[in-house]
Amino acid sequence: MKNITPIIIGLVSLPALAYAAMPLLTTSGDTERGQEIYEETCIACHGPDGSGALPGITPDFTAKDGPLSQSDEVLIEHITDGFQSPGSQMAMPPLGGNDELTEEDVQAVLDYLKHEFYGE
Ligand code: HEC
């Protein structure tokens, strides 16, 4: 008869694994919504890798001391109300020009930016 101990150990540890993965699963739900918003509304200017689709105009989200080093509070305000830094050639439009976005959407897309482009 074959040794079934590894199978039993595998079965017993499954629920523990599922439990451990739960926080990951919950975050990925939000991140997915964030990704959807990013791809619909932000990607044209900020680029698929977040480094900016308009060279010299849109900032590099992946830069360690770049815009994403600011607090969520500041970033949510800048995304929601729009933002222009001194001397810049082009403003970030309020909500990226998509009036449909809710407060939750802004938080979701910010979470996505930080997770995807800033390693947080
Ligand atoms: C029409 C182009 C355009 C679109 C669309 C756009 N942005 Fe921007 N965004 C910009 C520009 C330009 C800047 C830099 C503004 C400056 O520094 O003056 C910027 C800056 C930012 C910043 C940095 C703000 C800071 O404090 O430095 C964040 C965060 C950001 N955008 C997020 C987003 C998100 C999220 C979306 C989609 C919901 C989006 N942007 C859509 C053009 C755009």
Instruction: Report DSSP letters for 42-72, one per residue.
Output: IHHHH-TTSS-SSTTTS--TT-TTSGGGS-H
- The atom of ligand 1 lying closest to the CA of 59 is 14
Q: Is 83 in the pocket of ligand 1 (CB under 6 A)?
A: yes
pLDDT per residue as tens digits for the range 36-91 = 999 999 999 999 999 999 999 999 999 999 999 999 999 999 999 999 999 999 99
CB distance 16 to 8 below 8 Å: no
Q: Is 109 in the pocket of ligand 1 (CB under 6 A)?
A: yes
* Domain interval for residue 38: 5-117
Backbone angles phi, psi at 95, to 5 degrees: 55, 25
Sign of CA dihedral 45, 50, 55, 57: positive
Find the CATH number of the domain harbouring 63: 1.10.760.10
- How far does CA 32 lie from the centroid of its chain? 8
Whether 33 shows a pLDDT value over 80: the answer reads yes
Spatial distance between the Cα atoms of 115 and 117, rounded to a whole number of angstroms:
6
State the pLDDT at residue 75: 98
Whole-model pTM: value is 0.82
Spatial distance between the Cα atoms of 62 and 9, rounded to a whole number of angstroms:
42
* Residue at token pair 């990925």: 28
Number of domains in the chain: 1
pLDDT per residue as tens digits for the range 62-72 = 999 999 999 99
Whether 15 shows a pLDDT value over 90: the answer reads no
Query: Which of the two residues, 100 and 24, has the higher pLDDT score?
Result: 100
State the pLDDT at residue 34: 97
Task: Determine which residue's CA is closest to atom 20 belonging to ligand 1.
Answer: 92
79-105 mean pLDDT? 97
Task: Determine which residue's CA is closest to atom 6 belonging to ligand 1.
Answer: 96
State the pLDDT at residue 120: 87
